[in-house]
Structures are given as C-alpha cells and as structure tokens.
Amino acid sequence: MKYPIVAYGDPVLRRKATAIEPDEYPHIKQLVEDMFETMYAAHGVGLAAPQVGLSMRLFVIDATPFDKDEPELKDFKKVFINAVIEEETGEEWAFNEGCLSIPDIREDVYRKSTVRISYYDENWKHHDETFSGLAARVIQHEYDHIEGKLFTDKLSPLRKRLIEKRLSDISKGIVDVEYRMKFPAAKKGR
C-alpha cells in the first residue's frame, strides 16, 4: 500500500518522533514494506515515518541510485528503527539535497562526512555502525526527519528568504508533483 507523502508545512514534520516499542507494533514489517513502496514510487532514496504522517522513530533508505558515484552503495537498502546518532565526525561538505516532502526544491547543504549510528532493524536486531560519504548523507537527512528537522533549516538566511514563497506554495499544494501528497494548507478541492 502506498501512503500519500506529507508536504512541507504539516506539523507532523516538526514533531520529535517517538521511539517504537516492539510489542506496540507487531505489524512493523508491513509498515516498512509500505514505506519502501511509497518511496520507490516517488523515486526517493530515503523516507521517514513522519513523511507518511506517523510520528515514529523509523526511516528507510535505499541508496542504490547513487551506485554510479559510489559503487559500494549498490543494494544499500536498510531500515532504521529507534536510531540514535552517536557521533558525527570529519569535514563538512556540501551536497545538493532534496526531500520528497519539499518537491522541486534542491539546495546545497553542509554536513559532516562520517556518522556513527546505533539502531534496530526490522527484525529488532541491534546495530552500531559507521557510514561515510553519500550513505552518511542520506542517513543524516532522514535522521533529521525523526528529530522534526528539515534540510531547509540548514540554509543561510538569504537562501531561506529566496525559497520562502515556494515553500508556502508547496504547503498549499501549488506544485507539480507526480506522486500522491497531502498538503496541509490546500484549499478544498485541490
């Protein structure tokens, strides 16, 4: 089942998401499968639960489309439950980021190059791993979502001002997008 993707402006994207208790979510694998289906249909490389309206500490990643730049990302498909970033190290570098909740806007964002993260996978197996390069980048972007942050928060005041109107249009549904979305400020009938 595909979910509609929540657009910029929805309060769920600003909430710090809640940790998941295994007993509370016996159907977590179905949810994970639906999130991958939603993400692939929108041609994304990552999707966090708040983006489908669920304030849960869960995100999924498939960075395979980046394998031309970094061959080790072939089949880099992972599920992160109750993730905690333990450490971010290395030089900050710029990458042109986009977000399925903010269609048609891409901006250079600076982040550190390496991330150590602990998390559970969909089988509730615990991991503590270190990632660099584009893998780290996608993880950092998705992790921000479960903390209630968006990549636009990291832009300079000038860049923020330049995209202000487009962000407000997105929240109203005034944007061309090929996947189903839920717009918080849309007028009825749109």
Q: Active-site positions?
A: 142
Residues 89-118 that bind Ni ion (CB under 5 A): 99
Other CB atoms within 10 A of residue 38 CB: 22
For the chain, count helices (H), then strands (E).
Answer: 3, 7
Nearest residue (CB) to Ni ion, 99 versus 117: 99
**Shorter beta-carbon distance to Ni ion: residue 24 or 153:** 153
Nearer to Ni ion, 81 or 99 (CB): 99
In sequence order, the 6+-apart residues with CB closer than 8 A to the CB of 118 are: 83, 84, 86, 126, 127, 128, 129
Start-end of H helices in 42-156: 133-146
CB of 21 to Ni ion, least distance (A): 25
Minimum distance from residue 154 beta carbon to Ni ion (Å)? 12
Check binding of 73 to Ni ion (CB under 5 A): no
E strand residue ranges, 121-186: 126-132, 181-182
H helix or E strand, kind and range, residue 26? none
Neighbours of 119 (CB within 10 A): 22
Smallest separation (angstroms) from Ni ion to the CB of 44: 8
Is position 12 an interface residue for Ni ion (rule: CB under 5 A)? no
Maximum pairwise Cα distance, the chain = 48
User: Least CB distance from residue 77 to Ni ion, whole Å?
Assistant: 17
Q: Which two tokens stand for residue 165?
A: 């109107």
Regarding 139 and contact with Ni ion (CB under 5 A), the answer is no
Size of the site for Ni ion (CB under 5 A): 1
Q: Which is nearer to Ni ion, 50 or 133 (CB)?
A: 50
Residues that bind Ni ion (CB under 5 A): 99
